[in-house]
Amino acid sequence: MPRYEFRCRTCDDTFEVSRPMAESSAPADCPAGHADTVKLLSAVAVGGSSSAPAAARPMGGGGGCCGGGGCG
């Protein structure tokens, strides 16, 4: 189940709530009971780096019916 991060505007506390995606925009009270909260945007890192092992690096080129192997 996805986790969403919220910040309380009253006490400035940051907290997480687990809920279904269908309820992602529903308001959430902070653990101290305050209702004035805002949902924070979360950045997700996707991708690799140049120091990734060779097996993890994307392979380039090719395509077509043989994956770039030069069909006979």
Contact 26, 47 (CB under 8 A): no
Predicted pLDDT of residue 29: 96
Contact 6, 12 (CB under 8 A): no
Q: What is the DSSP string of 3-17?
A: EEEEEETTT--EEEE
Instruction: Give the model confidence (pLDDT) of 16-55 as tens digits.
Output: 999 999 999 899 999 999 999 999 997 766 666 656 555 5
Predicted pLDDT of residue 42: 76
Domain extents in the chain = 1-21+31-43
- CA pair distance 60, 29, nearest whole angstrom: 49
